[in-house]
């Protein structure tokens, strides 16, 4: 449900600078940095062409590889599964062009660094049919056996508006929402840090649920239940209730849950294009060079071992038994991979970083898709004149059902169910058909006259990220008390204070990001890693375009004491 969050709702459109994912923990302008004609940096001539291991070919790895290529380095990409990682778009057999987004599927325009790359690589976006979004023909909220049909929030019973207002007031009164968003719009880093650092100190120990329950606006248990169901943007936020409230505040204040857009043709195209596309300008390499061409057209397989070797190198072994040694490496795999799938030297990271890696906490997530003969959901019920099926949020097993119109004369795509955490766990032991049947049962209860099964033309497609060997979770979600771990992992790219034996390896990706579960954060950490590699190899960012490490002291995330 797209509930307006002030000051968007109160400001005159066009008068205010936009809300972007600028900070708040580290308010560095990644969007400006990557779009500057001065480039991200350069390395000494002697270092040009140096091989850098990029471990993981998801979005973060591909951004890092693409930018290292531009700088004149040679990224060698290792990927255990497929390029794209959690930007995975799955085609249906016999229906080319229709893709089910198993991972990332909707992107807020406030992800301005992501949108820079989408533009650079020529990808189009379109409005995503979220609950109550303008592009969504209709929405049904089904709670405790009662269904409500709506186009806007006002069509729903008053309790939903009351919940929306309670959330707004809670944010304003307990999280300084309005001044903080204004400071983000204005890119007033001192003001952002003043407000946000205080929130970090106040709320690092607090869960999302605890934050709500402590607000007088949510004193009613029923209000908390309804809010958990419909959320503040995309629904189903009660599965986030045990997580740190800081995780939620970051999303809300940067409009990460607003005005989502999908990538036309599928999200996976972005990492694929980063792999295949020759940058217009690059140092050292001849025109037409791509990350793919530097890797002879294919990624190296799964990394099985990472070791330190003299003098200060990182030696990588892969599942083909191939051993290669690099002066620097960027590691974008999910943190748990470093504990189980990849044998690692203790010396790769300081002990406190290992603790942070061990403490990483993931949300699980399952999606179930089916292809139907046509977008029959737009058929009107002859009695009520309503759409026969709507985008649906429910407390039944399916939780969130999305209707993805592929256009007239084409099959329709239904994401029968998108679930997180416990709701995903409930499905883990079940196969695709069983999952589909459970979701259809939910929907048949909500829409008794609709024969869903008669429209299905393809076997269901499903994925649970927590059972995937190369992921073991959908995305990180910090628990209360995890801020210190997060601060350590994010800041790791600035290595001046590390012992030499710990330098040269850079963590990046969703796990290291402040906004896990959002592609923007995975990209921002890749940019940090690129800065780290360049610096490690004796290079620097241009003086007119300082990088994240150059301004680190000034903008660094607050460090909490014992
Ligand atoms: C269900 C789901 C929904 C999401 N929805 C959204 C959304 O709507 N909007 C949004 O902005 N973001 C969303 N995200 C988050 C977004 O997908 C991620 O932030 C982003 O894709 C992470 O990229 P990454 O490169 O950091 O990690 P990954 O994509 O996980 O890449 C890491 C890569 O490392 C590989 N790997 C693992 N082990 C090894 C090994 N031993 N050797 C070599 N390679 C290895 C993996 O195969 C993987 O390809 C979603 C994520 C999920 C799971």
Mean pLDDT of 320-336: 98
Average pLDDT, the chain: 95
Q: Whose CA is nearest to atom 26 of ligand 1?
A: 509
Task: Give the distance (Å) from ligand 1 centre to CA of residue 179.
Answer: 33
* CB 333 less than 6 A from any atom of ligand 1: yes
Expressed in angstroms and rounded, the spacing between residue 465 Cα and the centre of ligand 1 is 10
Say how many Å lie between the CA of residue 56 and the centre of ligand 1.
Answer: 9
CB distance 58 to 271 below 8 Å: yes
Q: Considering only CA atoms, which residue is closest to atom 2 of ligand 1? A: 103
For residues 175 and 168, give the distance between their C-alpha atoms in angstroms, rounded to a whole number: 10
CA dist., res. 417 & res. 415, Å (int): 5
For ligand 1, whether the C-beta of 86 sits within 6 Å is: yes
Tell me the pLDDT band of 9, cut-offs 50, 70 and 90. Answer: very low
Contacts of 334 (CB under 8 A, 6+ apart): 360, 362, 471, 472, 473, 476, 509, 510, 511
Checking if the pLDDT of 11 tops 60, the result is no
Instruction: Kindly report the protein residue whose alpha carbon is nearest to atom 15 of ligand 1.
Output: 517
- The residue contributing the CA closest to ligand 1 atom 4 is 104
> How crowded is residue 242: how many other Cβ atoms within 10 Å of its Cβ?
17
Task: For residue 510, report the distance from its CA to the centre of ligand 1, in Å.
Answer: 7
Model confidence over 501-533: pLDDT tens digits? 999 999 999 999 999 999 999 999 999 999 999
474 lines ligand 1 (CB under 6 A): yes
Average pLDDT, integer, range 420-440: 97
**For the residues 355-381, what does the mean pLDDT come to?**
96
Determine the Cα–Cα distance for residues 148 and 150; give it in Å rounded to an integer.
6
Site to probe by mutation for ligand 1, drawn from 317, 461, 519, 525 as the one with most ligand atoms within 8 Å of Cβ, is 519
Query: Which atom of ligand 1 lies nearest, measured to the CA of 83?
Result: 49
16-47 per-position pLDDT tens digit: 999 999 999 999 999 999 999 999 999 999 99
For residue 100, report the distance from its CA to the centre of ligand 1, in Å: 16
Judge if the beta carbon of residue 522 lies within 6 A of ligand 1.
yes
SS3 522: helix
Q: Is the CB of 236 under 6 A from ligand 1?
A: no
Q: Which atom of ligand 1 is nearest to the CA of 418?
A: 1
Domains contained in the chain, CATH given: 43-85+268-360+491-555 (3.50.50.60), 139-259 (1.10.405.40)
The string of pLDDT tens digits covering residues 53-86 is 999 999 999 999 999 999 999 999 999 999 999 9
Query: Per residue in 416-429, pLDDT tens?
Result: 999 999 999 999 99
Locate the ligand 1 atom nearest the alpha carbon of residue 520 and give its number. Answer: 11
Residue 215 has pLDDT above 90, yes or no: yes
Q: How many residues does the structure list for the chain?
A: 562
**Would the CB of 509 count as within 6 Å of ligand 1?**
yes
Ligand 1 and 334: CB distance under 6 A:
yes
Per-residue pLDDT averaged across 250-258, rounded? 94
Give CA–CA dist 117/403, Å, rounded.
Answer: 27
Write the ipTM: 0.99
- Above 50 in pLDDT, residue 5? no
H helix or E strand, kind and range, residue 270: helix 269-276
Q: Say how far apart CA 469 and CA 97 lie, in whole Å.
A: 27
**Closest ligand 1 atom, CA of 465?**
53
In short, whether 318's Cβ falls inside 6 Å of ligand 1 is: no
Q: Whose CA is nearest to atom 16 of ligand 1?
A: 519
pLDDT at position 38 is: 97
Ligand 1, residue 474: give the atom nearest the CA.
53
Q: Residue 332's pLDDT is what? A: 98
Cα 104 to middle of ligand 1, angstroms: 8
User: Is 473 near ligand 1, meaning CB less than 6 Å away?
Assistant: no
pTM, rounded to two decimals: 0.96
Which residues are CB-contacts of 377 (< 8 A; sequence separation ≥ 6)?
137, 387, 388, 389, 390, 403, 412, 414
511 CA closest ligand 1 atom index: 26
pLDDT for residue 10: 37
Comparing CA positions, the residue from 375, 428, 378 lying closest to residue 404 is: 375
């Amino acid at each position: 449900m797209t509930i307006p969050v002030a000051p968007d709702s109160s400001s005159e459109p066009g008068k205010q600078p936009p809300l972007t994912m600028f900070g708040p923990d580290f308010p560095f302008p990644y969007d400006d940095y990557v779009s500057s004609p001065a480039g991200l940096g350069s390395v000494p001539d002697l270092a040009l062409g140096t091989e850098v291991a990029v471990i993981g070919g998801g979005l973060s790895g591909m951004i890092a590889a693409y930018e290292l290529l531009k700088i004149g380095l040679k990224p060698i990409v290792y990927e255990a599964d497929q390029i794209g990682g959690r930007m995975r778009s799955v085609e249906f057999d016999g229906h080319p062009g229709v893709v089910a987004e198993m991972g990332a599927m909707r992107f807020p325009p406030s992800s301005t660094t992501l949108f820079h790359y989408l533009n650079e690589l020529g990808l189009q976006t379109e409005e995503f049919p979220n609950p109550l979004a303008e592009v969504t023909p209709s929405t049904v909220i089904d709670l405790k056996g009662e269904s409500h049909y709506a186009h806007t929030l006002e069509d729903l019973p008053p309790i939903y508006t009351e919940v929306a207002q309670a959330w707004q007031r809670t944010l304003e009164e307990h999280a300084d929402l309005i001044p903080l968003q204004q400071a983000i719009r204005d890119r007033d880093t001192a003001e952002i840090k003043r407000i946000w650092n205080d929130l970090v100190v106040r709320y690092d120990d607090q869960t999302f649920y605890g934050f709500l329950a402590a607000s007088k606006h949510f004193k009613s248990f029923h209000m908390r239940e309804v809010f958990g169901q419909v959320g503040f943007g995309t629904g189903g936020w009660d599965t986030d209730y045990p997580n740190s409230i800081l995780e939620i505040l970051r999303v809300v204040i940067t409009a990460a849950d607003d005005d989502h857009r999908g990538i036309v043709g599928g999200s996976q195209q972005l990492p694929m294009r980063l792999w295949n596309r020759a940058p217009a300008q690059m140092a050292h390499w001849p025109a037409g060079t791509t990350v793919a061409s530097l890797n002879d057209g294919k990624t190296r397989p799964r990394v099985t071992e990472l070791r330190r070797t003299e003098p200060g190198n990182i030696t990588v072994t892969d599942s083909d038994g191939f051993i290669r040694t690099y002066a620097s490496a960027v590691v974008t795999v999910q943190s748990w991979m470093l504990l189980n799938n990849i044998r690692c030297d203790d010396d790769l990271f300081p002990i406190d970083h290992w603790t942070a890696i061990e403490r990483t906490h993931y949300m699980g997530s399952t999606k179930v898709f089916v292809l139907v003969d046509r977008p029959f959901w737009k058929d009107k019920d002859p009695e009520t004149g309503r759409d026969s099926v709507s985008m649906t949020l429910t407390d039944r097993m399916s939780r969130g059902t999305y209707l993805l119109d592929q256009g007239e004369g084409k099959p329709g795509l239904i994401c029968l169910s998108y679930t997180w955490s416990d709701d995903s766990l409930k499905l883990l032991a079940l196969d695709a058909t069983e999952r589909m049947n459970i979701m259809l049962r939910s929907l048949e209860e909500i829409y008794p006259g609709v024969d869903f099964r008669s429209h299905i033309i393809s076997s269901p497609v499903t994925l649970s990220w927590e059972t995937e060997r190369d992921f073991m979770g959908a995305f990180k979600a910090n628990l209360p008390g995890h801020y210190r771990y997060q601060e350590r992992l994010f800041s790791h790219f600035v290595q001046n204070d590390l012992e030499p034996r710990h330098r040269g390896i850079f963590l990046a990706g969703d796990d290291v990001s402040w906004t896990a579960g959002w592609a923007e954060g995975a990209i921002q950490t890749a940019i940090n890693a690129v800065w780290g590699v360049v610096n490690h190899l004796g290079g620097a960012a241009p003086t007119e375009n300082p990088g994240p490490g150059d301004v680190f002291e000034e903008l660094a995330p607050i460090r909490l004491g014992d």
